[in-house]
Structure 1
Amino acid sequence: LGRLGGGDGGPRTSSFSLFSCQGCMLRGWVDLSSDKPHTVKKSIKYLEQGMQDTKDVLGLMGKVGSSRGSGGSRSETIRSCCPTILALPLSMLNSHGSSSSSRILEKDESNIDACQILAVHELAREGNITTVSSFQIQKFSLETSIVKEGPLIAPTGWTDQFLTVCAWQCGRHQVILRLVCSFIERTFRATSSYAHVATELGYLFILRDQVKEASLWYSEAMKLSKSGITWCQILEGHLEEAEHQLEFLKEVQNSLGFSLLASRKHKGEQEVTALLKEAAELHFSSMRALPLGSEYLERLDPLFLVCIAKEYLLFCPKQPRSPGQIVSPLLKQVTAILNPVVKVAPALIDPLYVMAQVKYLSGELENAQSTLQRCLELDPTSVDAHLLVSQIYLTQGNFAMCSHCLELGISHNFQVRDHPLYHFIKARALNKSGDYPEAIKALKMIINVPTLKMEENKKFRGPSVQPSERVSILLELVDALRMNGELHEATKIMQDAINEFSGTPEEIRITIANVDLVLSKGNVDLALSMLRNITPKQPYYMEAKEKMASIYLQTHKDIRLYIGCYRELCEHLPGPQTSLLLGDAFMNIQEPEKALEVYDEAYRKNPHDASLVSRIGQAYVKTHQYTKAINYYEAAQKISGQDFLCCDLAELFLKLKKFSKAEKVLKQALDHDFVKDIPSMMNDVKCLLLLAKVYKSHKKEDVMETLNKAMDLQSRILKRVPLEQPEMIPSQKQLAASICIHFGEYYLAEKEYAKAVRSYKDALSYSPTDNKVESSERDPVPSLGMMADLMFRKQKYEAAINLYHQVLEKAPDNFPVLNKLIDLLRRSGKLEDAPAFFELAKKMSSRVPLEPGFNYCRGIYCWHIGQPNEALKFLNKARKDNTWGQSATYCMVQICLNPDNEIVGGEAFESLVPESNSLERKESERHGVRTAEKLLREFYPQSASGQTQLRLLQSLCLLATREKANVEAALGTFIDMAQAEKDSVPALLAMAQAYSLLKQVPKARTQLKRLAKAPWALAEADDLEKSWLLLADIYCQGGKFDLASELLRRCVQYNKSCCKAYEYMGFIMEREQSYKDAATNYELAWKYSHHANPAIGFKLAFNYLKDKRFVEAIEVCHSVLREHPNYPKIREEILKKAQGSLRP
């Protein structure tokens, strides 16, 4: 009463038991709380009398309070208090309690209380089973205590609670269960009159899957508790006896027994789930108002709750929730049941795994992956966890990672291969990848695995499947056979499935699958007739209506009947999910106004549904009704007060380039008191990152401050998640890495390269490149790619190539990275290494050669090696693609206008071109211009930059005609473009080329000098190189070879494969009659033109001849003549002379 503030009633109460220990202790506490110093001094006498040489924790704490003036005595009291204070319930899972326990064990290694606290902490928080099972000293001390202290310790003391909690928290670990069983058996022998001890043993043997032994122990306790024997009867399949027993008992605590019995006897979903709900509510009602401690953990009984959750899952959807679909209420109930377990004991694998299943079925695939990652950290051999990870990748369409995870599971535990689900997942991945024969082979391996009926004995050993799993196997086999063209065999398997599951809940599912088989035979009317027979009261009615609607839309092209199917769904199954389906149907037929009416109606019924709110806003955005979208978001936010809408609204403002409004919305979301809960902190990080994105567009000076705030907050989250939500560690580390990448991008834009490198290294520390396969779910490609880009810009070609190589080893079909690598190999003079990466990509899938990205990369490669016709062929395959089409068209036009990569406007080599060859070239140029113009007529860019590029290409076509009127018209366009965008490299280069063709060399030189002073940038590298070469050409014509050589060296510095630079350097050496040096440069030009340019071959052979290297001259002549037999002058002027010079 004194501690609770009832000071006035304290002395009066203590008078009733003044001489008892408790009375003295209470009187001591009352005096201690007095304002009078002399009364406080007297409190120590009462406290010491109450303790009577014991170490009662309240007495010791009172002595600490009364020793305020004496530092030494107070410290001594605190030290003596430490072992006792461990018995307080709240200290059990507290990190301070565990550290105090460790300190106590250092002084007294046989201290049972400290061992108990550490054991529970290791089991519940850390999952260190080995550490717990190694407490041999505790085991010895406990056994000794039981023998010495007799029967009173086990049933009433802390030790009994500790053993129960350990059994509950060990996750069915057999070593721990065996140890606990041995302790409790010793207790029962000493206390055979206590029925609850026998009941406890019965439950422990159930956890050990020894049902017969459990039944024997429950029989010992039958007089006081008959629920246990009922559970054993259900698990052994004796359903009739269990039913009679339950009817006899009619006790509230047997709700789980009734629900288990109803489930095993194929009762309806509503009956079973109602009983399960009642069982869970009764279970949690016994824990209300309990503090976190031993009694709370004992009553929590995680494995009991997992059992309820698993029974619920039997009636949950078997496939993940699709976007927009409402989460099953049953899944929400399972989440509510498991949340207390996962929060208190995050190291138990069974609750974590079931929670991962719930997240997977709820469509939260990334959260499910994080939870499974935690499961595999606790137990890398978990078969179920490896299989569920593979299923998630299969759902995401990542078939390569799905197969990889299956193999990884086998490497940790060979039993994975014996699980039928392993073969099913493998077969499904093969089926989705188009490898139907292998999929059929894998499915036939498990087609004869026996089906385990619910009422069968759990002692059944060996591979088995549930009825629903067998149906999935059969239907997948039918689908694989159908896709492989084996319709007769598919029909036979389907008929077997119909016969086997007739009259079961799976019958309707088979009927719906049979529709696809009937459709493949062209019998549409029969398919519709089968679907019409499925009534609203039957399972899978919704799937049947969706399938029917699909047939009406795709086969009959009847929009009225298509919408009618969804209207019937809303009529028979009213609810948000069916309303969403109807709205989506209207969107599919391009009637967004009607879709929004349906969405709004659904929203009014369920204004707090986050997915529905977001979906409506997205619908407005998709229909380009941006003002309505903004008004809707703002109104919904005021009505429902949902903060997540702030980000959606801010992203919309950002898309519309309304930066000030986006900033205002995000600042309002961040304007709140200091938050401590992890979800709120995560939401703030998201808002801060979005705010940094806004600032990047209009307030660059505030970007760093915002990113620093986000990083500080994320660092706090990373410190807390290991203890509170360890399954979120991977995703939160990935987010920290992305923040570091934002820093790197900012520093890169500011040309602070050293800081950028440091930021990218920080990113890699959160998402390392040498990840083990278990953690490879976090894609390191973005950070690796950014690091490689940075190395590229700093001309550290080897480092960049290595990083790109790592990316492509992880993802050979990452074509944007492959495109960058080809450019990098060209600039580093190693283009011959590129074909190996094409082969690597081909090995990934047989469909890779059909991918637009792959063909684009092949086209660019062929262009660089001097094969323009092959390049056009590959680029044409990418021309219609949304991602690659614009770049492909640009490259094709460039090839058509200048297939040999000549210097437009350059005249240094003009006098060396034979007249006949010049005429042929003019005809080829005219044909190229016509082709380029045709390509541009089919080019419809959507972006502003694309429109600018189209205008540039159209003018380049005019320039390529070399007709004065056309060139002047093109020049006018180039001038307008240069005025609209100052320092535009493509526009200035095109102006210089036009001036050169018009023989206005001084004006051309002026523009080119401007470009010579421009900083090198990767995006403009090719145009800058062309400008340097054209200026070098002008200098060569004027005899300024030193200025020309400086520009040519710059070209080679940034592009070691620049054959034109080597050709010009050879030309300069030749003019200076240094034939040996000229030959050296022409050799490099010949090498990097990939022996495709006969003019370079001619010059090389000529300089070999001049340098008296006759054999090399002859070899080059033959090489040129093999590809160009009629190439002028080379035979007469070089080959014959070289051959003649060799004769004696």
Structure 2
Amino acid sequence: MSSMEKYLIYYYLQSDHSSSVLALTDKHSNLPEYALYGALVYIRVGQYVEAIRRLNELNRHDMGDCKLATLLLLIVAHKKCMDPDFGTISELELSLKQAQPCSNEKSLALAALGLYFTRHVDKAIGFAEKVLKLNSSNVEARLVLTWTELSKKQTKNANTGFQAIATLEPKCIPALIGDVLTSTDRSEQLSKLNRILVQYPTLDAPLIEKLAVCLSGKDWIECNELSERLARLNENSSVANKMKIFHLINVQGNYEEGAKQLLTPYSTILEHEMPDPCPVLFDWSKLFARICGRNKSILSVTLKFVQHCAHSQLNSVPYLKELAYQHYLLGQYDQALRGYRSAIKLDDSSVELLSELTLAQWEIGARQMNEQISQQLDLLTEISSKSPSPHITLIQISQLSSQTEIRSRLDGIVRSQMSLVARQPFGYQYLIDLNVDLLLTVLAEYLKLSDSTPVCISLLVHLTTLCPGLIPAALLLARLYLTIPGPDSANQMKGILGRLIETRPEYSLAHVMLCLVCVRENEFDKASQHLELALSNDLKLIETPLYNAMKGLIEDHKGRLVESVHSLKTTRQLIQSKKGTRYFSGSQPGSQHSSGTGFELATIEQEILHTLDPTTLCLVYQKLCSNLSKTQTQPSEELDKYIGEASTLLKGTHHWVDVSLMIAEVKEKTDPKYSLELLSKVPEQHDKYIQAVESMASIYLNRLRSPDNYIGCYKTLLQKTPSTENYVRLAEAYLNIQDADSAVATYETARRVNPSVKFGVKLARIFVKTHRYEAAIRCYKEEGSGGEGAIELATLYVGLGHLDVARETLEGLERPVLASPVLAKISDWKSCESLCSQLLNSNSGGAPGVNGAPPAGITSTGSAATTARLMLADATFRRGDFQSASDHFASIVSSSQEQGQGMNYTALARYIEIQRRLATLKEGRVTDMLAGKVGRGVGGVRPPGYCYCQGLFEWYSGNPLVALGWFNRAKHDSEWGQQSLHNMVEICLANPEVAGSSIKPGNGGALEMADSFIKEMNPCSLEEDWSCKLLSNFIRCASLDRIEFEMALNEFTRLAQNEGTRVGASLGLAKCYVHHNQSSRARNILKLLAKTPWTFEEADYLESCWLLLAELLIQDSKLDRAATLIQHTLGYNKSSAKSYELLANIAESRDELDTAVKYYNQALRLGVSSEPGLSLKLASLLLRMRRYGDAMDVCMSARRKDASTWHAHRTVYERAMNHLRT
């Protein structure tokens, strides 16, 4: 008897895989122990007669180790029979008493297993403890006790027990898998399962458990791959078939194919799921019926499954109840009613049965109350007052009129269903207990309420996360987002529709809806592409209002007014004809459905295509009327008709003001007074009020030629709302009528009203426009020496030819380097360098030095040249000429020290950055610069700029703890604080060993420290806020907590849509996908960044993206492409140890071992981490090359640096030593 087969039987019994147990026991039916396990299966499934027959057969022939267990199981089987034979039970108990004194270790262990698997846990524990007294290492007894602890939720004790068993018996599959199940970290579980799979590649048990773990993490792709792998091991595997069908239905939403595949294994289950296929069929039918959105193809198959169960066991209440429920889901209420009545005859005390029966009666009566239903409701409400049935609540809701009360009841149902699965991992049973179909029914009721959009979105987001294949729910969610203005909603909608297109590229409706989103965001090129794809997949779209509306709006953007008018007229005609259901959905989508969930796919598709929401409808009429007025030379009745229709349709909605603005625009040529009358009716509280005022002013100025009334509009606006912005509007209005004096007076008045607001720059710009340069210069000077005013003033001086004065003006900037991107207005750094060189050249008299060393004479010009030289150095650095930039910054630092001006920390910080990128940090003059006397401030305290630079140097030199200390000193400074905190977070993420440092004593691990630094950050700009969000999500990602990880994944997806955070968010997304073993998705994201131009602001994220992509390409054996990317990275950062490590990997793959050694040595030289992996790889490679002495030197060098790494190098060292001795 194979010990592996025996342990597999234990696993299958524990996991309720009865057919797998019988498959093994039937192979060895001549062995008593196997026969015992076979009989045990029949007891577990309730077939006691067959179990007794098998056990009697075993009892007659076996007098050995199985005797005690056989007698115990016979007693159990007889007692569970419908008509127990108490005489036989007494005889068996007498035989048991006689057999017990003769029991040995094995017989007691078998008895313990038999009692445990028949759910007599207390007795099983007693026998297991007896076994352990005889032999403390008995595996079976230990398994029984550990399983018992696991069932009591004593996870830590169970984990210890499983690990101890696995140590005693490494082949014990139940212990190995038990160790996995009691691990709390999902990545650890997957790692352990992978090790088991490597050791036992032909066993299905670890694959089954890995599939469950991946399913709990919603890793759909991995689940599908695992099911295919399981099917290759066993083509009749119900686990594999179930996942394959689940993926089709729940993930892809392919119901037709899912129904076909669901029918295929039916005969296989009947044939192979022995001794009783009903539990499997019952489980499948419950699952798929609740997640298919009442798809009739799926429900017809699941109904067939449950019918087989009900006919096989006529007195089974659960089977009859499920049969009735599935008739209900199919809308077959009469048959459902008969089913519930049959079940109630067998169990008349079930409140749930009576509740569902009442619901069926209510549906049969067309959802009308009658006396019988009313009495049953009163009875059920009284019985279950503390936890009312959701079905009863749904009936009661129909009788309520208060929306607040209805919403409260619906909230109660949702809370109740969520509480059922609160402590469960995601899986099949989770979906059965949650009952997705019931939540969809609740959602349909929510949609009938006003202001229910937020709660509907929340519920739909949850449901579509659990069931991505619920296409009607995804479409409805996208449509609800459509009703919410703003970029966030648009991005969410894009994400939903994008996922639909990923699984169904030919899905035309998703393309049309994406077209609508793109139109609203003015992305007309993308909108046109989506519309063309939609039409190519479904020509019937031509007959729908939504398609024609999109076509008309796109044509309008292209300037094809005639074609636009034609399409928009067709839209209007289709809406009014029978093809259109109505002008727009006055209530929320789904409110028109009177029964069921109302989420049939065809119904929702037709509603979206034939129903325009108010915003789109308003846009259609705006463009139709506007374009019609542009294409007609004379007013027409047709135009007036469309204007009247728009007013009628959108009256009472939020868009009536948009209609008024549109009518005013159309009528301003022919009837400007009517336009003014319409615009004057827009209330002050409306968000389009200022636009209305500006339109009125435009009509007065451009149509009626009345400057006084034009100015009067802005004066009235200012009187009603005396804000700074309105003063600016009035001043700009004066400028539009060439009244500069009044504009200046308005700004002066605004300054008196609000002294805290400075208008110097705005006044100066007015004076510049009117060529009053002296007044402009005076205003710029009054504004102060910092900010944009100083830069504009310097630019004005340059324009006037006063280069010396321009240089002096720029010298006063607090952050001179900021002048560089402002002067280079279009990020043309060469032009910026040229301008800076001109400023320098005006003083030195020499030729401008742009690409080489600083021009002669610069160092002698003193502080007057410092600002311009900083701008020149920064422009050179951003252009990628690091060597020239290094010379510039070094010159600035040296001259500032020599002239006693104090250390220029801006230049020093950039110099350190450049030295790091040139891999000359330790060879450069940074140490001497930092050691200078100017490094100390007042009272010997180091200034924040010095602390920041010293921290930067220590960080790049490989001393993260020391760097943290220096950054900590600078973090409260207004100039250096934010970047210091940013760097501290980066250090914590890259160096877990910083946990527990003196910076944050007692604050837990490195991630907790990082999180505390994030909380200290105070973003003052949009860019800083983006940076803070990226870091927060990298912390979430590094935590490996499932919930935090999912939040990070969602946030990275959102941030990746933003140009300012695209690179960093893409890196985060790629790391998430790599962690989820979705390397192809990570690679696709990173490929988009492969040719992204290098910028200093995103340099670290961009280089990390390139290296991660190179690493993935190496895994795919695309070595040339990977090498090209790595060399590209080294072009910008020669100190990248990771780059050299990857080059070494490539060289090893090509058997270029000497080159690999060279790259490993370079990586070790540049590496700033004490992680022993690099040195171990190098030592192993040298050993392989028979360079034993060099291998030993590498091992000893690693030991001297960090003694804790010696255990990793010792094997290589000893092997090299042995080779040298021989």
TM-score class, shorter = 0.3 to 0.5
Under a length normalisation based on structure 1, what TM-score does the superposition of the two structures give?
0.44
Give the TM-score, by structure 2 length. 0.42
